[in-house]
Structure 1
Amino acid sequence: MSVIREVPFPSPDASELPMNISIDDADSAIDLIDALALSPFATGAQPWSRLANLDRVRPEATLSPAEGRVLRTARVEDGPESRLISGDGWTLRVVRHRDRTATVSVTAVSEELAKSVLHETIDGAEEAMPDVDHVEMGFWWRGTHGGTRSERPITAQTWDEISANYSGKVRASLDRLMSVTPSGVNGRLILLHGQPGTGKTTLLRTLAKQWHDWCQVDCVLDPERLFNEPGYLMEVAVGYDTDEDAQRWRLLVLEDCDELISAGAKAQAGQGLSRLLNLTDGLLGQGRDVLVAITTNEDLARLHPAVVRPGRCLAQLEVGPLSRDEAIAWLGTSQGVGPSGATLAELYARRAGREIPHSFDNDSTGLYL
């Protein structure tokens, strides 16, 4: 049963719109705080709004101006906490999550007041970027209200530190990829293919670190939706320009997308393949500094010919296992190394003393490494 409640806010004048909220048993206390936070903006009492998404919020950060008064607090056990805070001419909504991220939104009677309240609330609230072994990476997913992007620091080593993890057959090509600059971009697609456990994901983390000065790397967590929903694709691929990001390229990472680029992709994935190709060198990609990196366990011969045609790929690399001699040099012993060598995942497992399965051929996890 729905219950209609009018949400009162101080001193609405005759020109303001009425504000009513419909509440039923499917709504939570946090939903009510969301509605109350929007009320002064919807009625026009506080027509200016500012919002900030925070990462790595300090545990001791209050996320509240000194003059704020807490009106409502709602907390989900082992989940987020939401607060509604008000002051003279402004209203603040703060949602803190267990992963130390937070969303802070302010409405106010003037733009200057909204900016100042937001600044006081978030100033010094985030921890500094972790040490040099980390790099910021964005993560996209499709939520209820469209695409959502969150930034996280990920562990990443330099290419010099990990180059010995890769076979000499591909190392020279990887050297060239790691040293690419904006002026050297020739092709918008990066294909990393090879059996599971050979270090494709590790390469992408290192690429994010090597290209940090000129390229923002974003991982798309639901690529199957990305190319099937044009609105989501526009959000992620086209994005919004800001002064800070105007000169930076973006690399979209799609992991284990075999069905998107296989020989039968057109039949399996519908328009997905066409939209991918349009993003890399069609009308959608024109004027946008966007690259796409795809990892796949498929053999190159099984990929769609349109994907691997000359000129489309900036890099097209098979990341295979280390040879027997390379594996022995990496491990420091020949014990357990077969005549065909070993993958990086197998070598790390042997170094740690773990049992190695006889075959990874049917493993669908990608053995992220």
Structure 2
Amino acid sequence: MSVIREVPFPSPDSSELPMNIWIDDADSAIDVIDALALSPFATGAQPWSRLANLERVRPDAPLSPPSGRVLRTARVDDGSESRLISGDGWTLRVVRHRNRTAMVSVTAVTEELAKSVLEQSIDGAEESVPEADHVEMGFWWRGTHGGTRSEKPITAQTWSDISANYPGKVRPAIDKLMAVTPGDVSGRLILLHGQPGTGKTTLLRTLAKQWHDWCQVDCVLDPERLFDEPGYLMEVAVGYDSDDEETQRWRLLVLEDCDELISAGAKAQAGQGLSRLLNLTDGLLGQGRDVLVAITTNEDLARLHPAVIRPGRCLAQLEVGPLSRDEAVAWLGTSEGVGPSGATLAELYAIRSGRAITPATSDESTGLYL
């Protein structure tokens, strides 16, 4: 039997909530904190709100101004913690997760106070991005309230460091792609095709590092939803622009393993998905937006939709195949384990580590993400 209770809000401005919150045994302590944090904003007592999502939060970061008073704290077994903190004219909600991300939201009686409290709470809270072999990459997914984007540092090497991982016949084309600048952009689509385990994903990480000065790379985690939901597509296509024109950059949207989207039968399989992709790359949707799209696929070029590979649409169209026998032997330093037809990058790593190689089936579609 559910027990319903009215919860008072211990605010420094008043002894009880200006509105009623009803909870029952289905609600958790964190749900209560969520409701209490929103109540001053919902009633208009604190009509200004500011929010920040943080990555790589320092373990010792207080995420609160020194003057704050902790009203509620709730911890979950998975390591998450939620806190409700208040001060003179403001209320702060802090949610910390085990993976060192956090969300900080503030409501206040004035816009200036909300901004000030948020700045004090997050100042110096994040560790700096690791240098040398890391680059910031964005990740998009469709959440409950629309598109959500998060930035994380990923490991990435320079092209000169990994060029030996790719066949000599494709290296000149990759050289050209790595050296592209905004003035060189003549097509909006980058197509990487080839069998699994040949290093397509590794190549995109390196591209993010090589283009870092002028292009932000974002990976879309649910591309099938991206082109199925126009609202989500608009959010991702518009992106986030800075008010400072000097910091506005091109964006590269990465869509991995989108065989169904660009195959010869894509129109029948994916409905309007193919049309919306083409519209983003060189149609009305893409006009005025400095957006490039990179797609990886395990399909052979001959099996792709002709509209995708028509002249002028692709900035680069690269077949990333296995290394020849001579290249594989040079990479490995020995001929042991290398077949007469060569080896993929994934196979070479497996041989070097002493792991057995499992032959890929003909319908392999997941890739080996190297």
Q: TM-score, normalised by structure 2?
A: 0.94
Q: One-letter code of the match for 1:118?
A: L
SS in 2 for 1:169: coil
Match of 1:83 in 2: 83
Unaligned runs of 5+ in 2: none
SS in 2 for 1:157: coil
**Alpha-carbon distance between aligned partners in 2 of 1:206 and 1:240, rounded to the nearest angstrom:** 23
Contact 2:12 / 2:86 at 8 angstroms: preserved in 1?
no
Answering whether residue 128 of structure 2 is matched by residue 114 of structure 1, we say no
Alpha-carbon distance change, 301 to 22 in structure 1, aligned in 2, over 3 angstroms: farther
How far the C-alpha of 1:47 sits from its partner, in A, is: 1.4
Q: Which residues of 2 match residues 195-206 of structure 1 at below 5 A?
A: 195-206=195-206
Match of 2:133 in 1: 133
How far the C-alpha of 1:10 sits from its partner, in A, is: 5.1
Match of 2:218 in 1: 218
Match of 2:353 in 1: 352
**Alpha-carbon distance between aligned partners in 2 of 1:250 and 1:7, rounded to the nearest angstrom:** 48
**Alpha-carbon distance between aligned partners in 2 of 1:307 and 1:23, rounded to the nearest angstrom:** 54
**Alpha-carbon distance between aligned partners in 2 of 1:6 and 1:183, rounded to the nearest angstrom:** 60
Alpha-carbon distance change, 189 to 68 in structure 1, aligned in 2, over 3 angstroms: same
Alpha-carbon distance change, 360 to 213 in structure 1, aligned in 2, over 3 angstroms: farther
Q: One-letter code of the match for 2:316?
A: A
**Alpha-carbon distance between aligned partners in 2 of 1:315 and 1:251, rounded to the nearest angstrom:** 13
How far the C-alpha of 1:270 sits from its partner, in A, is: 0.9
How far the C-alpha of 1:247 sits from its partner, in A, is: 2.5
Match of 2:26 in 1: 26
Match of 1:73 in 2: 73
Alpha-carbon distance change, 75 to 276 in structure 1, aligned in 2, over 3 angstroms: same
Match of 1:297 in 2: 298
Alpha-carbon distance change, 216 to 147 in structure 1, aligned in 2, over 3 angstroms: same
Answering whether residue 230 of structure 2 is matched by residue 230 of structure 1, we say yes
How far the C-alpha of 1:353 sits from its partner, in A, is: 1.2
SS in 2 for 1:120: helix
Contact 1:6 / 1:19 at 8 angstroms: preserved in 2?
no
Match of 1:57 in 2: 57
Match of 2:207 in 1: 207
Match of 1:364 in 2: 365
* Cα RMSD after superposing both structures: 1.9
Alpha-carbon distance change, 284 to 19 in structure 1, aligned in 2, over 3 angstroms: farther
Match of 2:259 in 1: 258
1:286-337 C-alpha deviation (Å, 9 max, x unpaired):
0001111000000001111111111111111100000111111111111111
Match of 1:283 in 2: 284
Unaligned runs of 5+ in 1: none
Match of 1:43 in 2: 43
**Alpha-carbon distance between aligned partners in 1 of 2:34 and 2:183, rounded to the nearest angstrom:** 46
Q: One-letter code of the match for 1:323?
A: S
How far the C-alpha of 1:359 sits from its partner, in A, is: 3.4
Contact 2:68 / 2:87 at 8 angstroms: preserved in 1?
yes
Q: TM-score, normalised by structure 1?
A: 0.95
Q: How many residues align?
A: 366
Q: One-letter code of the match for 1:239?
A: G
Alpha-carbon distance change, 153 to 256 in structure 1, aligned in 2, over 3 angstroms: same
Q: One-letter code of the match for 1:207?
A: L
Contact 1:147 / 1:236 at 8 angstroms: preserved in 2?
yes
**Alpha-carbon distance between aligned partners in 2 of 1:322 and 1:263, rounded to the nearest angstrom:** 28
Contact 1:9 / 1:40 at 8 angstroms: preserved in 2?
no
**Alpha-carbon distance between aligned partners in 1 of 2:13 and 2:359, rounded to the nearest angstrom:** 73
Match of 1:315 in 2: 316
**Alpha-carbon distance between aligned partners in 2 of 1:222 and 1:32, rounded to the nearest angstrom:** 32
SS in 1 for 2:169: helix
Higher mean C-alpha displacement, 33-42 vs 156-165: 33-42
**Alpha-carbon distance between aligned partners in 1 of 2:24 and 2:267, rounded to the nearest angstrom:** 45
SS in 2 for 1:167: coil
**Alpha-carbon distance between aligned partners in 1 of 2:249 and 2:9, rounded to the nearest angstrom:** 46
**Where in structure 1 do 4 or more consecutive aligned residues deviate above 6 Å?**
none
Alpha-carbon distance change, 65 to 294 in structure 1, aligned in 2, over 3 angstroms: same
How far the C-alpha of 1:239 sits from its partner, in A, is: 2.1
Q: One-letter code of the match for 2:156?
A: A
**Alpha-carbon distance between aligned partners in 1 of 2:212 and 2:3, rounded to the nearest angstrom:** 51
Match of 1:143 in 2: 143
Match of 1:96 in 2: 96
**Alpha-carbon distance between aligned partners in 1 of 2:119 and 2:133, rounded to the nearest angstrom:** 30
1:133-163 C-alpha deviation (Å, 9 max, x unpaired):
0000011111111111111100000000001
SS in 2 for 1:280: helix
Question: Percent identity of the aligned residues?
Answer: 83
